[in-house]
Structures are given as structure tokens and as C-alpha cells.
Structure 1
């Protein structure tokens, strides 16, 4: 699933809503302490919430030891706990299937009626969606609670789950029973006519034309006396102190609050559809955030006695060590791709290449080694061969200097290469999802900075990868603009991938009187900015050259 944007309000330095549009390559520019890191921290916070319902985090799953969010009271804008923090993600659902939940089925009757109903297949109509959550401080519970979980599909809000301030009651509300997803296309005029007649006559006719969900929802809203209140919320059981659904499970409507007229089939079918449309988008967003990689501004150089970690640990990307872990257990294909970029003359051309040495160890005091040293190989050949096959294969990563042909360790090469390598490995090893990084240009030559731009372009052409890059590098930006210009003019160099303006988002982040602002700087097909660059950035070069 491709995440298109993130909208934040009341988070850290951001007060009024700020929207960050994500493109395959998204660049964040701005002065120091302007609020660029706030966007990264919001992604870490969202990951904590959707992955483990952690509303009050300090350390995070993806941030490593170097990132401490400080808890909810540190995250709320101006430390004002009367405000709700809101995060909204908009995403593309093309080619995605919303999850189906079958835990509501307790016999063979439910599925048959569901699959035969007009509602089966409606979730497949979702082509885009958004999920918004609100977290606020509960004075009753003396802790933050996720008070609202809202979902929209195909550009319109569908429903919300809310919880009371004390967290004891959770309910489905704002359910849009006339949402276009429930109806056939081009029926808006007919629906308006039906509702207009209903308001005039106080009676609904042709109700089936309003879509199959409408009469089912009315049944759910019917009281024992036969009256219907379409604004009445539906109570949800099993969710205490949170509006966040339980992933992998359908919505547990409190059947004790439903009228006896609501039969089993109606309950199961409504639950199935509502759960897929309301819980499903949040679960897909959870899965997308699981793929989130974050690489911090300072990448650690592994020690000489470095031992790689076999178990995946997303937090080790933050200091770059996950890249070295990955290389120690990499396939020959990945090593070849890495060397193509690291050592290629038309690529980064660092002067180094990676080699993965595979070997076995034998104790010098072992009988087999003694036999080898004494020349008794023929007598012991079968035994030695058997013992060698049983020895485990070990790996060792070596860095070879292309000029001197000397084998080196990471500590023996320049700091710039050690800072660069985790960026390159993350780019090449990520098949889909977002890779967020701070200052990839740190300690590297301008020639390498522009070549990094080509690497990012190459990867977004191959895979559904999004690069979110906080940078001060004019060289990196100029490479992207150049490739856009060359793509439009059909003048790309051989074996170089092109870039379109639609694939690049340039955001300038700065502080204002109301908090942090993020200004989108549009780029045209000639690689030129349509908007003026904000004052005080990249003007220093002109000042030094011409004054």
C-alpha cells in the first residue's frame, strides 16, 4: 500500500494542521530546528500506536537508542494537554484487498448468506482511503487515550469509532450509510430525490435504491418499540479505553444493546462489511508502517570485533548497523548489486568493493589438522572429508581497495564511506515501503551526493519505495532537477533512469507564529521551481559569488 500523505495537528511544534505529501522522492529542506525532525517523530509515533497501541512512548521500535520521544506530554503542542494530537494518513488502495474478518462466523449459515448478499464484494470498490486518529489526555484515567478513529474511503468519510473520556464506552458513530461505496455509480441524483421525498412525506420509499447497506443499517438502529434513530451510535464491546480497533478481528458490536428484531443474518452480514471497511484500512496502514525504515543523521562504524545480529531488528537501521548485519548474511545477488553502485565508474565510484568471504574453521589441535600438517591426508581422507562437511560455514565481510587491492575493515576507510554505506544498502535492500533518512550527504563528497540522487531514482523506478529525505544538500536537489529536465527533453545519458515532476516532492519547513509550516515547492517539467525559494536558503551561495 502506498501512503500518499500525512497530516498532523497539535504535535510537537505543529499547531494548526500541516500536510506532508509523500512522493517516491520527498525532500525536506529548512533551517536547523525548524521542525523537520518532527515529521520523522510523527512516523515513529504512528508506528508505535498502530503496532502496539503505545500512546505514551519514550523509546520506539524503529528509532533505536538515539531517539527518545519523551512520552505524550512531550509530544503535545506547547505541552497543552487540553489539545488532541491528530494524525491522518491518506493512502492508495489500488491493487489492495481490504482484509476480511471471519471470527464472527460460528456456524455454516453465516458465510452462505454473506456471500449471497448484495454486500459481498463492496470492500473491493475501495480505491483510496484515509485513517485519522486523535489522542488526548484523559484526566479521569490520568493517561492518554485514543479517543477517535475515523475512516474515509474514495474521498468521503465513512465512519468513526469513539470512546468516552473515562474510556469505559466505545461506539461506532458518524456512519455514512449513503456512502457512494454502497451504491452503484452515477446514482447521486436519484438518492437525493428519494431523500427529498422522504423529508416531505416523512416516509422512505424505494429504500433499496439507496444501496444494500441502508436497510441493514436501519435494522441495526431500530429500537424495540419500532422507532428508528439513524444518529444513534452502535456500542462496541471489548474495546476499553481506546477507539483503536483490534487488528485481525471484526468489530464486536454489543448485541445486548440491539433490538430483538435484529436477526442473526443481519448481524453477521453487517458486521462483516463494516469490519472490512472500517478496521481493514487501519490494518493495512499498520502493515505499511511495519515496513518503515529510519536511518538517523549519524551512522555508527562497526567495531573490529563486530558480530552481526541474525534476528531482524528495525531499530538498528537508526544507527546504520542493520546494514552491516544484512551484508554479513547477504545473498551474492545483493552483494553484486551493491558493488555495481559502490564501485561502478558511472555510479558512486567510491574506489571500494564489498566481498563476502565464506569459510570454515578447524582447531589446530584437532586430529584432522594434525593429519594435514603431517601429510597423512591419504590415510585420513574419508574422516577429514566427513569432518569438514560437518563444520558450519561462517561469513566475513571484507572491503577491498580497488587501487591497492588491499583488504580493509570499515574502521580503515574514510568516515564518509561508512556513513554512505547504510544509505546505499537500505535503498537496494528495500522492496517496498518508506525509507526515511536524515542527512544522507553527511561527510561525503559532492560527486557522491549527486550520484546518490541517481540511486534513489533507480530504486523508485524498480520498486514501490518512497524515500523521505531530510537534507541540506543543494547537490542532491540539483541532480533531481537535472534528471527531470533531461527526461522531458529526452536527453538522458545511457543507463540512467529518468524522473518526472510527479515523482518529486520538495518541502520547505520553517517556524511561523502558529507553529511549524511546510511549504510545497512545485517543480515544472523543465526542472525549474514554479515557486520562489523561501528566503534564507541556498541564497548564501549567490551572496558569496556575486557580492
Structure 2
């Protein structure tokens, strides 16, 4: 039975640079601590608070699961996620489904802003209609359910997919048991469905031949076509739709001459175009969600503590990203990021350390032995030649000194053929030459007038600083090079390892690198404040603000216990409102920040939104007196 595919894409847009994120928030239900659907708004800065074991981490872990499915060909029954490394062990579907009930599905619900969807790569025949229709929609919603396959019970698949426009259903798809596919059940009652039908019919003149179908005729044809329409699940979402056409129907879509068309043919063509529009909408939403979640970068609560010599440490291990090991590699290779991190470490208002990260090049013993021997030989040879040039004029005694010098060099193992020039020049020595050698106790009576020139030549020939720079550059440009990252104590210029200083430095570096090195990323971090002084926790807020609201446009989801981090952000909001921002600080407004509080409940954890006003003040008090421990301790 032939199939009709709907290919809306003109080009591959996978490499496009992200503009504004189309995802404004998501909901999750029946996952780990969450039973009922919980809403998580996504802002440039989202801070997640709650007591220990309240379910805070479930928010980030749900994104890690979605990310793993998107980047690993739809794998859902996962234990250790790729991005989570050793920090996150979901234990498989039977463990991460709420209350271990494998009969229930898990659901993600993604809210998208239609204004930020990418329509540039859509074929005009589809994009023109969709663009005009989506202008009337404030919110698109994609619902994705996963669970046990109805036939192959141990297989975890996408069970259903629903698109809504302003909370009205556009289309519904459900699983085909035993297959990684969905069937299109029906189109919904969302206004854009009728608007699309009206727009398609409105382009056909009522007097045209063949005459256009009625709305009811087209709706019936669409209904019949929808029943034959399916889609493969790519990773987490369905891809383009495919329609199975009966052999006796297919002729209506391949008529060559307009005069041969009947109203029935035109109806089927319009119905096919309608389904093509739905296919395009599915792919746009698919791309938006997979692109955004695919950018997830996770940093767990236990940061990697690299060995003393980073150059010889194991790299790209399972915890490379989640443990922050990648950050040291970035510092080794990215000068700009290294400079920014050094500025933060040494800032008198921030970490105030005397340390600076530098890269040093290590060479093998065999390489050094070969290079140093050849270079010392050449330097001694050149130096001796210069001596001969300037030794003219001192008669037989200076000749004897030159001969002695040559003999001394030969005894070091330097071959005679390297000094053939010296022997030739020596024969030309006469009584008017100068000597470069100055001996504190010498039997030779050199004229005092020669000493200034002798000193000049010696200084010229023994410029150790210039010579060492040349040697280092030449030797490190050849052979095998190993680069190592060290901390330099700027007070004494002593090289140190991160293991020689406080652990706070090694724990904050992955945070700083995530902020300075990433762009257009969704960055999820657990406990960014770990091992940091309270004042530094507040100062860290400025780093997140710059990375989120500056040129890099990162989106942060921070699971934290730090009140000081929040207070630092609230201070910038207050200063923004009062026009008192310090120079170099970016303005922060309520739409830039989301504060969430996760509260444990016997029926499942609850996510509460804690809104901030323009002055950076909480609109309502923390549930249960959260963050009032300080007052309790004082009084």
C-alpha cells in the first residue's frame, strides 16, 4: 500500500544558533517524587528550593531523562543517564515511575511560545498558512506520555502525543502496540483547525472549475485521511506524518491536467495539504523541544577533584560532564575563559586569593636531552668563533689561550669538525686583536682599554633571557608536548596544584567555567554554593546574571539551599528598580527570575511558585517558615 510522506523541511536546521527559547515552562507528573502534574516555569534564572528529600532533584532528573532519550535514540528505560554520569542513577522505569507503579504513564507537558518557533526552513506552501495561524495563538502545548508497551510489557515507549493551542486540542496521537509508532486519532476543536480549513477553501474561487468542496465535505475527507495517518517516534516525539493511500484513491493526487480534476479530487488534495500542515506543526514542535532539551548541561552536587597533575589524569570518563571534569580541560585550552576565572579568583571583592591559573608545557626527558645537547653545542661553537674574531692582536699568548679553549671543548665530547672554522680563523690572529675572556686571576697582561669592549661582547653573547626564550619556543614547537594546568602563587611565583589549596577553589571552578564558557545552553546545577563562604555565594549571583542575561544567553536551573545566592539576585533587582545598579552590572527584572519551593506531601511532592516583585521582594512568605532558622537560633 503506497504511502504519502509530508516533507516540510527545505534544509537541515540542526546547526542553527538559538534565538529566544521557545519553551516557557514544563509540567511533569508521575515521576519520582511527583504524583500529580507539577508546573515548572523556565526563566533565564530559575532557583529551586526545598527541604532535604523534598523532591527538588526530581525536577532536574526529569530533564535529564528527557535529554537522554533525545540524545540516545529514544532510550527511556534508563539507569544512568549520559549527562548525569555517576551523579544520577534513575534505576530504570520501574524505579523512577511514581510509587514504582509500572501500570501508570509518566507525562511531560511542554509549553511553547509560538513567536519563538523557527519557521524559516519550512516550505512556503506550509509555512504561509501556519505563520498566519500561529499569530493568533498565545501558547502551544505538547503532551508526551511514556510507559510500558501494551503488547511488549517490558518495552518502554511513547504512549501518546497531543498538541494543544491555548489549551484547546489540535491533534491527538496514540501508540500502535508493539511498534515505535503513533497513529493520528483525530483532530481537535481548537479554533486554528477551523481557521486552517477556512483559509484553504478561501483561496479557491467559488466559480472555479472544478467547484470547491463544502466545509462538511472537506472535513469528512480529512477525517478519512487522518484514520490512515501514522508517524514514527524519532527519540521522544513523533516525526513527519505518513498517510497510507488506497490504490484506487491515489489517482486523485497524481492528476496531470487541471481540466481533469473533479470536486472529489480537489477535496482529497486539500485534505492531503491539511494533513501536511499538521505534519509541519509536529516537526516544528519536535525541533523546538529536542533542540532546547538537547542543549542541557548538567553539573552534579559532587564536583570532580582532579589528580595533582591534570595532564596525566583520565579524561572523558562517565562523570566527565556531571562532575565538572570538562571544566579543567576548558581552562587548559581556552585563554579567554581562563582569564575570566583568574579575574574572579583574584578579585578583592570576590574570592581574594593570591592564585592564578597558568598553563605550562612539559617535555619528555629524551626530547630535552637531545635538544639541549645540540643547542649547547651550537652555542659554544658560535661563542668560540666570536672569541677568535675578537682575539686578534695579542700574539702568541692569546693563540695559546684559544688552543687551550678548543682543547677544553673537545674534551666535553664536541666533534673536531665543528671547529674547522676556529682553526682557520686562529691562523689569522695578529697582535691587534681583542679578547672576550676576562679572568680574575690571569698571567696575561691585557690592556685595560679592551675591558669595556670585552664586557660588551660577553654581555651580547650571554643574553640568557633572550636565549632561553628562543630555546623554549623552539623546543616546545617540536616533538611531543604535554600541557599541564597549575596554580601560581603570585606572591612567591611558586607553582602549586589545586590539591595544595582550599577545596573551595576546585569546587567553584566548574561553576565559573559553565557560566563563562557555555552559550545558548540549558544549564542545570545542583548545589552551586557548595564549599563557598556565604559572601561568595551572593557574589556568585552576579556570575549567573551575566551569563544568563548577557551575550551568552544561557538558561539556568539551580537546585540550591543558599539563601545568600537568592539575596544577591534580589539585591540586583532592587537596584534595577531604583536605578542604582553598580557599573558593569546587568538589570534584573521579575520576568528574568523564577523561584520555586518544593514541598513534600504524603500524596506526592508539590512545586510552589514564589513570585518576586519589581523591588526584588518575595510576594508571599516561605512555606513553613523556610529560611527562618537564623532567627530561631538568635532568639
Q: Could you say which TM-score interval applies, normalised by the shorter chain? A: 0.7 to 0.9
Cross-structure match for 1:160: 172
Say whether residues 1:449 and 2:537 are aligned partners. yes
**Following TM superposition, by how much is the alpha carbon of 1:498 offset from its aligned partner in structure 2, in angstroms?**
2.6
Residue of structure 1 equivalent to 2:302: 298
Gap regions ≥5 residues in structure 1: 102-113, 195-203, 223-227
For the 8 Å contact 1:48–1:60, the answer to whether it is kept is: yes
Report the alpha carbon displacement of residue 474 of structure 1 after superposing the two structures with TM. 1.2
Closer/same/farther in 2, CA of residues 444 and 20 from structure 1, 3 Å limit: same
In the other structure, the counterpart of 1:459 is 547
Gap change, CA 1:541 and 1:469, over 3 Å in 2: same
CA distance in 1, matches of 2:472, 2:497: 32
Q: Does 1:7 align with 2:27?
A: yes
Q: The residue matched to 1:512 in structure 2 has which SS? A: coil
Which residue of 2 is the match for residue 430 of structure 1? 518
Report the more deviating stretch, 450-459 or 378-387.
378-387
Say if 2:345 and 2:353, in contact at 8 Å, map to a contact too.
yes
Aligned-residue offset at 1:360: 5.7
SS in 1 for 2:28: strand
Matching of residues 37-56 of structure 1 within 5 Å: 37-51=57-71, 52-56=73-77
Of 387-396 and 133-142, more deviation after overlay is shown by: 387-396
Shift of 1:307: 4.1
Are 1:145 and 2:157 an aligned pair?
Answer: yes
> Contact 2:184–2:230 (CA<8 Å) still a contact in 1?
no
Map Cα deviations across residues 454-500 of structure 1 (whole Å, 9 max, x no partner): 11111122132111111111111111111111111111222222311
Match of residue 489, structure 2, among 386, 391, 401: 401
Matches of 1:308 and 1:461, distance apart in 2 = 37
Q: Quote the residue 1:244 is aligned against.
A: 237
1:418 pairs, out of 490, 506, 514, with 506
Q: Deviations over 1:224-248 (max 9, x none)?
A: xxxx4738743345738998324xx
Alpha-carbon distance in 2 for matches of 1:216, 1:40: 50
Deviation at 1:150?
2.2
Q: 1:529 aligns with which of 588, 595, 618?
A: 618
Residue 95 of structure 2: aligned partner? 74
Asked whether the 8 Å contact 2:93–2:156 carries over to 1, the reply is yes
Quote the residue 1:111 is aligned against. Answer: none
The structural deviation recorded for 1:452 is 0.3
Q: Does 1:263 align with 2:257?
A: no
**Equivalent of 1:254, from 244, 248, 269?**
244
Query: Partners in 2 of 1:17 and 1:161 — Cα distance?
Result: 20
Q: Which moved more, 1:158-167 or 1:480-489?
A: 158-167
Distance across 2 between alignment mates of 1:368 and 1:217: 86
Asked if structure 2 preserves the Cα contact closer than 8 Å seen for 1:221 and 1:232, the reply is no
| Contact in 1 for aligned 2:28/2:39 (Cα 8 Å) | yes
Query: What is the aligned partner in structure 2 of residue 131 from structure 1?
Result: 142
Say which structure is richer in helix: 2
Q: What's 2:560 paired with?
A: 471
Shift in alpha-carbon separation, 1:423–1:229, aligned structure 2, 3 A: closer
Aligned to 1:284: 288
CA distance in 1, matches of 2:127, 2:568: 49
Cα shift readout 1:306-341 (whole Å, capped 9, x = no counterpart): 3489997895221111111222222x2222222232
TM-score, length basis structure 2: 0.70
Task: For residue 434 of structure 1, report the CA deviation from its aligned partner.
Answer: 1.2
Note if contact 1:11-1:76 (Cα within 8 Å) is conserved in structure 2: yes
Q: CA 1:75–1:385 in 2, change beyond 3 Å: closer, same or farther?
A: closer
Q: Residues 169 and 189 of structure 2 are in contact (CA less than 8 Å); yes or no, is this contact kept in structure 1?
A: no
| Residue 509 (structure 1) aligns with | 598
Which of 160, 183, 201 matches 1:171?
183
Structure 2 unaligned residues grouped into runs of 5+: 1-19, 206-211, 255-268, 383-417, 420-466
